[in-house]
Structure 1
Amino acid sequence: MRPCFDWRRGGRWLALLCACGALLAPHAFAGAPTAPAEKGSGAAAATPMVSESTSDAATLTPVTLQLKWQHQFQFAGYYAAAARGYYRDVGLDVRFQEADGKHDPTDAVFEGRAEFGVGNSDLLLRFARGQKPVVLAVIFQHSPLAMMMLDPSGVGSLHSIAGRPVMIEPAAAELFAYLRREGLAPGSFTLVPHGFHPDDLRSGKVEAMSVYSTDEPFLLTQSQTPFALYSPRTSGIDFYGDNLFTTEQMVNERPAVVAAFRQASLRGWHYAMEHQEEIIDLILQKYSQRKSRDHLRYEAAHMAPLVQPGPVDIGYTYPGRWQHIADIYAELGMLPPGISLDGLLYEPDAWHISRWMTWMMFGLLGAVLSALLFSLQIFHNNRRLATEASLRRQIEASLQLSERRYRTIYEEAPLAFILLDRGAHVAGWNSNAERIFGWNAGEMLGRSIERMVIPEDMPKVREVLDQVLIGGGVRHSVNHNLTRDGRVIVCEWSNSQEINADGEVIGVLCLAQDATERFRMREELEGANQSLRTQIAQIQALQSQLLEQTLRDPLTGVFNRRYLEETRPREFARAQREGYAIAFLFLDIDRFKQINDELGHEVGDDALRQVAALLLAHARTEDIVCRFGGDEFIVLLPNMAQAAALARARQICAACAELTLGSGEGATALSVSIGVALYPEHGQTDAELARAADLALYAAKSGGRNRVALARTDSRTPTPGDA
């Protein structure tokens, strides 16, 4: 983040005048802290910012930190900074504000309900919309956000969420980017509000949910529930996580508070990662007992490889990686391409002076200048030549040092470093370029870049170079390049303008690395993944076919008794919950044994198939038709009253009476008898209702067959009806 005023960039006169102003008005900057010392700098700790006495709580500056979630080890560094007095040492009284799980917690910072917040890489999207977040520090070098699914078979696939309900928490744009890269656009699944508990997976409420790899998996591991985690990193989306941020307005208006809060927070994070058990005790005693000690230990252990407190200094952030994140968002249509990130990242080494202090300082300097004008003129005349000579020697020494540093970086860079003039001719060629492409500098200087690019890729290379020369910025590309021995390799390129001392664009700076092996491995991996996806699809199709065979009667094609036994309790539970009736039709074929004995089993099978087809023809979408056994069929009619159920049964009975078996003189008529019972009039449970329908069927048979009988509510004797 660029401050309103950067002392390092001021001139010699401004430095001299400020020194004079400080001598004449030593209290003008009372309470302003020095820039906080970074870890490992060897500098002394920052002085209190609001008052010289930080022991009195009334003199502390109150600020609020909006947490990304509820109290847990995820925010251990901030708890440590408060408990160890690091915030108090720099004059701050910090309050922690939990997230409610319903709203994006970063809104609290932009709406003025908190000065600081913890956010994901979604801050880039807000930056593009003009909300002006400023990232102060990165806590997770690798984001813990992932998608979690149950996986009892061990061969699950993320693509099974298509058409299914999915929970994704607010401010998780990197997961949407990951799903888009996997071919799963937001419209291909149903997004439901997040419940933030794996029970939603176990109950089947959702197919997948967003989680922190450091948190929710503990619950499934503890219950020995098989699951699978799908990390965006498997698709090349490696974002930062839990970024400490504030707003541009806060940095400009209260720079000292921002610098102090950042310094104390990072100091707390170093302490927390080195004293994990102590911070776990602190969380359980002071902040929350929502999680067990073992859960907090699990979270701490799985955070360490993501925070990387040893190899990487906590809080470190790299502008190039933020640009890479922006490029991925742009690739997926979530950001405009080529967006400038100027102002997104905080510059902790600059001395920030607020706007009103800047005006006051210039006013003071004007007064001092008027009072000392005569003395300064004499001083300037006497010392001008000596100062100019000294300055010239300093500039020359600085230029020589810069040249040596540049030459070292240029020659020792682990990438090919190539300079091109405006006509795309090589003007610079380092040793690593010679190693990758084979040509030495003498063979390439003055030669066109076309010498090392295959003809098919040259139009694209020309286009990228023109974009850099005209539009500036950093342009990334992947090209197929030629080597001196005729091989074709794949290289990744980063290209930017080369500008001379007059500000003129004189060429292009190119960095290249050989990515041939990585791209080959990626292609092989993609081929293997596609083969695996095909096999999984075949297995799933076979599983669906086998499941269908276990639930269908092979002779008639209607559901079998097993399906009825599994479905009937759910239908009755739904009817009880929603308060509607269910009609239960118990049907069998009249004189079926006689048909089998006299006409043969093939005719009997034909009778079963004809009745089943007729029942399906008279069924609604929600009706359930089952072959119960032998010549018995059961039809469940959800949400159907008594009059409609009796009318349906009589329609079925009459339609069956028109069916015939055989043909010609041997044709035989077919008829059925039906018992009808309704929930809740004839039974409160499915067992009671089945018995009532069975008794009604018996009454229909006793009444002469080819008829419908309704169960009675006042006795066990059914009421026979007419066919």
Structure 2
Amino acid sequence: MMRCLFYLILLCLETIPSAQASEDTAPGADSVVLQLRWLHQPQFVGYHMAKAKAKGFYAELGLDVEIRQGGKGLSPVAEVLSGRADFGVGNTEVLTQYAEGESLLALAAIFQHSPSIFLARRDSNILTLADMRGKRIMMFPEHQDAELLATLFYQGIREDELIPLQTSVNIDDLVERRVDIFNAYLSNEPFYLEERGIPVSVISPRNYGVDFYSDILFTTQANQAEHPERVERFRAASLRGWQYALAHPQEAIALLRDQYGVARSQAHMEYELQVSKEMIQPLYVEMGYMNPARFEHILDQLVEIGLLKHKVPLTDFLYHAPSAQWVFWRPWFMLSLAATALILVLALYLWLCNDRLSKEVALRKRREAEIMQLAQRDPLTGLPNRLSLMNRLRQQIAQPAPGCLLFCDLDDFKRINDNFGHSQGDAILCQLAQRITRAIGHHCFFARLAGDEFILLLPGYSLKQAHDVAEVIRLAMAAPFEIDGQAMQVGISIGVSHYQSGWSAEQWLIQADKAMYCDKGVALTALAEQSG
């Protein structure tokens, strides 16, 4: 009943002027420290943008913020708990430390999907989790790679089947083959290796049904109890900085380069910010949104895989943002409790608030449904993604006549990205998806596997029929693509694999991949002979 009274009285007092409107923005800004998980980079640029003098979202709300970069061996949770930092950016270890008794408070989940992945050199023939057995694998200690540990657990891969090494956070260990599998970020290392011309295999937990939050903004419950207005101001300014950074990527990249000395290439930072945006999902989810039911599910998984001994209530872990009107009208609220004449008016506002909350709940449910749909689709081309493909393949191999699989890969696609930029490369991928879809109709299952790799499932097709479809695709690709007003011919290599009894879905895909590389080799040989 007190909560209802709180909302209703706030509505009644909206038009009353207050002498305390500038209480929290008085001279003398509050100094606070934000501890990042890693170095200054696009992964954290929302906070840098909130601090930038040109925008001043922190300063506007009376905050003087020091942003400290992280590094190897530095734990944001430890820094915040020790009092050396007021706020931190962490991963699942924020939840596990809370479950183990630390008084932590999650303020916002910036990344709705974790970019943590397993990364291997493609020439190591490690394409699936099953291929990782007996291999050297780098991981963070304790709970920092919880989503990766959960993926291994649910796929039945035991620790004694691997050769675990504590991560060096040095990707050259993978490049120089001192390790077989590297714990990486989808937004960073794959692009770095692509720039060096090293093909990689990306194994993502999301493709195996493990989907955790990442980059959680957090503080301590003591900080919230002592400085509730300051915590809310910091959270609001941080989310505003993220919204601006994602809407103005070039300005955000320039800020990192000019003020923080980030020396990565323009293409690398554009790629990292674009992938981060796909993980944040700003068009479909409110910035920083935390779903209690989803956190409960993550907690269940952590208990199931043995990282936690038992579940704990999450009531004190998830931050509930106070109404801005409540902060503004707090003194009036205390006075209004004695105003019995408002009782009849309060009853009317109670009905209005309940109606509004019902609509908000319905909107949340629709957004959750949209997110589930997006998890099955490639955000660039709109085609089914790898997760959808693997589910479909597992269904198909259970049929009497599974048919054939076509593995399509563009020839020398890296040259297009290097010469014209990733935005033009993305445009070609979208055109390719449209061309092939028009050429084959809607009778087959067409999906984007990763990068410039596409898969076509032909249920019940014979090998000859599948080769006929491959020729249809090659004809569709014969017309040049247009890039910046220039016509460019883009080749395609196609591997055809007819399902053999006893194959798993992964084996079928690997055979099609091998067939594609054979086709690519034939094409390169023919090109060399013509050049000769």
Fold in common (TM above 0.5) = yes
Alpha-carbon distance between aligned partners in 2 of 1:31 and 1:149, rounded to the nearest angstrom = 55
The C-alpha deviation readout for 1:624-680, integer Å capped at 9, x for no partner, is xxxxxxxxxxxxxxxxxxxxxxxxxxxxxxxxxxxxxxxxxxxxxxxxxxxxxxxxx
The C-alpha deviation readout for 1:549-605, integer Å capped at 9, x for no partner, is xxxxxxxxxxxxxxxxxxxxxxxxxxxxxxxxxxxxxxxxxxxxxxxxxxxxxxxxx
Change in Cα spacing, 1:199 to 1:532, as seen in structure 2 (3 Å) is farther
Change in Cα spacing, 1:7 to 1:65, as seen in structure 2 (3 Å) is farther
Question: Which secondary structure state, in structure 2, belongs to the residue aligned with residue 103 of structure 1?
Answer: coil
The C-alpha deviation readout for 1:205-243, integer Å capped at 9, x for no partner, is 111111110001112111221211111111211111111
Q: CA deviation at 1:311?
A: 2.4
Q: CA deviation at 1:118?
A: 0.8
Out of 140, 146, 155, which is 1:182 matched to? Answer: 155
Alpha-carbon distance between aligned partners in 1 of 2:46 and 2:124, rounded to the nearest angstrom = 39
Superposition RMSD on alpha carbons, in Å?
4.4
Change in Cα spacing, 1:74 to 1:387, as seen in structure 2 (3 Å) is closer
Alpha-carbon distance between aligned partners in 1 of 2:350 and 2:72, rounded to the nearest angstrom = 54
Residue in 1 aligned with 2:85? 114
Residue in 2 aligned with 1:395? 347
Out of 264, 267, 270, which is 2:237 matched to? Answer: 264
Residue in 2 aligned with 1:172? 145
Q: CA deviation at 1:257?
A: 1.2
Q: CA deviation at 1:168?
A: 1.3
Change in Cα spacing, 1:530 to 1:147, as seen in structure 2 (3 Å) is farther
- Structure (1 or 2) with the larger CA radius of gyration: 1
Alpha-carbon distance between aligned partners in 1 of 2:184 and 2:5, rounded to the nearest angstrom = 45
Contact 1:7 1:351 in 2 (8 A): no
Alignment of 1:233 onto 2:206: yes
Change in Cα spacing, 1:163 to 1:78, as seen in structure 2 (3 Å) is same
Match runs of 1:610-689 below 5 Å: none
Alpha-carbon distance between aligned partners in 1 of 2:390 and 2:259, rounded to the nearest angstrom = 51
Q: CA deviation at 1:193?
A: 2.7
Q: Which residue identity is paired with 2:232?
A: A
Out of 92, 102, 116, which is 1:145 matched to? Answer: 116
Out of 188, 191, 194, which is 1:221 matched to? Answer: 194
Residue in 1 aligned with 2:169? 196
Q: CA deviation at 1:526?
A: 9.6
Change in Cα spacing, 1:231 to 1:407, as seen in structure 2 (3 Å) is closer
Contact 1:7 1:350 in 2 (8 A): no
Residue in 2 aligned with 1:524? 395
Residue in 1 aligned with 2:428? none
Question: Which secondary structure state, in structure 1, belongs to the residue aligned with residue 269 of structure 2?
Answer: helix
Change in Cα spacing, 1:353 to 1:199, as seen in structure 2 (3 Å) is same
Q: CA deviation at 1:104?
A: 2.7
Q: Which residue identity is paired with 2:347?
A: I
Question: Which secondary structure state, in structure 2, belongs to the residue aligned with residue 152 of structure 1?
Answer: helix
Q: CA deviation at 1:268?
A: 0.9
Change in Cα spacing, 1:100 to 1:521, as seen in structure 2 (3 Å) is same
Match runs of 1:153-172 below 5 Å: 156-170=127-141, 171-172=144-145
Residue in 1 aligned with 2:29? 60
Match runs of 1:464-475 below 5 Å: none
Residue in 2 aligned with 1:85? 56
Structure of greater relative contact order (alpha carbons < 8 Å, 6+ residues apart)? 2
Equivalenced residues, count: 377
Change in Cα spacing, 1:88 to 1:244, as seen in structure 2 (3 Å) is same
The C-alpha deviation readout for 1:396-425, integer Å capped at 9, x for no partner, is 784598589879989xx88xxxxxxxxxxx
Q: CA deviation at 1:125?
A: 0.8
Alpha-carbon distance between aligned partners in 1 of 2:33 and 2:91, rounded to the nearest angstrom = 18
- Which structure 2 residue ranges, 5 or more long, are not aligned? 367-387, 399-498, 512-532
Residue in 2 aligned with 1:133? 104
Residue in 1 aligned with 2:451? none
Q: Which residue identity is paired with 2:315?
A: D
Out of 349, 356, 372, which is 2:322 matched to? Answer: 349
The C-alpha deviation readout for 1:30-79, integer Å capped at 9, x for no partner, is 9644xxxxxxxxxxxxxx2xx2x4xxxxx221111111111111111111
Contact 2:29 2:62 in 1 (8 A): yes
Question: Which secondary structure state, in structure 2, belongs to the residue aligned with residue 148 of structure 1?
Answer: strand
Alignment of 1:75 onto 2:44: yes
Change in Cα spacing, 1:162 to 1:407, as seen in structure 2 (3 Å) is closer
Question: Which secondary structure state, in structure 2, belongs to the residue aligned with residue 344 of structure 1?
Answer: coil
Alpha-carbon distance between aligned partners in 1 of 2:390 and 2:128, rounded to the nearest angstrom = 24
Question: Which secondary structure state, in structure 2, belongs to the residue aligned with residue 245 of structure 1?
Answer: strand
Q: CA deviation at 1:519?
A: 13
Residue in 2 aligned with 1:100? 71
Alignment of 1:313 onto 2:291: no
Change in Cα spacing, 1:524 to 1:406, as seen in structure 2 (3 Å) is same
Q: Which residue identity is paired with 1:197?
A: N
Change in Cα spacing, 1:524 to 1:7, as seen in structure 2 (3 Å) is closer
The C-alpha deviation readout for 1:130-152, integer Å capped at 9, x for no partner, is 11221111211111011101112
Change in Cα spacing, 1:313 to 1:530, as seen in structure 2 (3 Å) is farther
Q: Which residue identity is paired with 1:103?
A: L
Residue in 1 aligned with 2:226? 253
Residue in 2 aligned with 1:480? none
Q: CA deviation at 1:109?
A: 1.1
Out of 281, 284, 297, which is 1:324 matched to? Answer: 297
Alpha-carbon distance between aligned partners in 1 of 2:298 and 2:171, rounded to the nearest angstrom = 29
Change in Cα spacing, 1:112 to 1:277, as seen in structure 2 (3 Å) is same
Contact 1:66 1:108 in 2 (8 A): yes
> Structure 1 residues 262-271 or 520-529, which shifts more?
520-529
Q: Which residue identity is paired with 1:82?
A: K
Alpha-carbon distance between aligned partners in 2 of 1:408 and 1:67, rounded to the nearest angstrom = 33
Alignment of 1:296 onto 2:269: yes
Alpha-carbon distance between aligned partners in 1 of 2:62 and 2:360, rounded to the nearest angstrom = 44
Contact 2:232 2:322 in 1 (8 A): no
Q: CA deviation at 1:294?
A: 2.2
Contact 1:151 1:228 in 2 (8 A): yes
Q: CA deviation at 1:255?
A: 0.9
Contact 2:223 2:231 in 1 (8 A): yes
Change in Cα spacing, 1:147 to 1:401, as seen in structure 2 (3 Å) is closer
> Structure 1 residues 287-296 or 262-271, which shifts more?
287-296
TM-score, scaled relative to structure 1: 0.46
Contact 1:77 1:266 in 2 (8 A): yes
Match runs of 1:378-393 below 5 Å: 390=344
Change in Cα spacing, 1:525 to 1:165, as seen in structure 2 (3 Å) is farther
Change in Cα spacing, 1:345 to 1:524, as seen in structure 2 (3 Å) is same
Q: CA deviation at 1:310?
A: 2.0
Q: CA deviation at 1:302?
A: 1.7
Change in Cα spacing, 1:231 to 1:15, as seen in structure 2 (3 Å) is closer
Change in Cα spacing, 1:521 to 1:107, as seen in structure 2 (3 Å) is same
Change in Cα spacing, 1:91 to 1:396, as seen in structure 2 (3 Å) is closer
Question: Which secondary structure state, in structure 2, belongs to the residue aligned with residue 130 of structure 1?
Answer: coil
TM-score, scaled relative to structure 2: 0.61
Contact 2:120 2:181 in 1 (8 A): yes
Q: CA deviation at 1:342?
A: 0.7
Question: Which secondary structure state, in structure 2, belongs to the residue aligned with residue 143 of structure 1?
Answer: coil
Change in Cα spacing, 1:330 to 1:14, as seen in structure 2 (3 Å) is same
Residue in 2 aligned with 1:658? none
Residue in 1 aligned with 2:405? none
Q: CA deviation at 1:292?
A: 2.2
Match runs of 1:503-518 below 5 Å: none
Alpha-carbon distance between aligned partners in 1 of 2:222 and 2:354, rounded to the nearest angstrom = 35
Contact 1:252 1:353 in 2 (8 A): no
Q: Which residue identity is paired with 1:81?
A: A
